[in-house]
């Protein structure tokens, strides 16, 4: 009888211990999640940024599973804060610089763009490529690209013709990524170059979460001579 009673007591103690450990682990996870949000809020307040964990709407916008950020995760708060501070202090200002460069670059070439549009409308241009050519160029954390026909103008020079598709490719599971949902191209340099611009978001995978860093615009110049 005593042994049976002792066995019951031991079993009860073990079950209670497991429950306490499980509850403590759950509380630690919640505390870590709270700490993550506190660190983000502190950095945003200090640097005037809008860093945040991607919402379900943002995940859907980029084609990521809507439950991507639902899982509670343990993380190193020091490493997490250090990485986000570096992004706020160094990388976001660089994103802003690239945005200004991309926009001003296109504006400075508008006269060439207008010249080409006039030339295309007043000269006989024949189709050179039987199907659209895919042109790509690496940008920060992504690849800019477009599909377009290649034509010859009446001077015998290869130029870009009709553009059939403009895109931005990225791996959203790498440490940092950029994606523009609706990029565009303009023809510059008398049609010899497609000036790709894409406005989108810089994001990254930190502490087990997909996090938004900043928005910005990037550009790429796709020269027809590399594909003709």
Domain count, the chain: 1
Are 197 and 113 in contact by the 8 Å Cβ rule? The answer is no
Residues 6+ apart with CB under 8 A from 98: 140, 216, 217, 218
Are 29 and 74 in contact by the 8 Å Cβ rule? The answer is yes
Euclidean distance between CA atoms 224 and 188, whole angstroms:
11
Low-confidence ranges of the chain (pLDDT < 70): 1-31, 33, 107-129
- For the stretch 18-35, pLDDT in tens is 343 333 333 343 447 678
The residue range of the domain holding 124 is 1-228
Euclidean distance between CA atoms 171 and 179, whole angstroms:
9
pTM above 0.95, yes or no: no
- For the stretch 31-82, pLDDT in tens is 476 788 899 999 999 999 999 999 999 999 999 999 998 877 777 889 999 9
């Amino acid at each position: 009888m005593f042994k049976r009673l002792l066995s019951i007591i031991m079993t009860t103690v073990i079950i209670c211990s497991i429950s306490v450990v499980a509850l403590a682990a759950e509380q630690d996870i919640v505390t870590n999640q709270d700490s993550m949000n506190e660190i983000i809020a502190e950095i945003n307040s200090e640097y005037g940024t809008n860093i945040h964990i991607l919402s379900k709407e943002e995940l859907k916008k980029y084609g990521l599973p809507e439950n991507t950020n639902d899982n509670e995760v343990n993380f190193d708060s020091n490493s997490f804060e250090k990485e986000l501070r570096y992004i706020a202090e160094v990388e976001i200002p660089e994103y802003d610089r690239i945005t200004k460069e991309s926009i001003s670059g296109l504006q400075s070439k508008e006269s060439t763009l207008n010249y080409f549009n006039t030339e295309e409308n007043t000269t006989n241009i024949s189709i050179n490529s039987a199907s659209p050519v895919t042109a790509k160029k690496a940008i920060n954390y992504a690849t800019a690209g477009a599909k377009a026909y290649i034509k010859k103008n009446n001077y015998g020079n290869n130029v870009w013709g009709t553009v059939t598709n403009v895109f931005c490719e990225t791996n959203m599971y790498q440490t940092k990524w950029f994606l523009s949902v609706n990029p565009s191209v303009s023809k510059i340099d008398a049609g010899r170059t497609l000036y790709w611009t894409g406005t989108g978001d810089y994001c990254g995978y930190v502490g087990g979460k997909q996090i938004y860093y900043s928005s910005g615009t990037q550009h790429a110049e796709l020269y027809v001579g590399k594909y003709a």
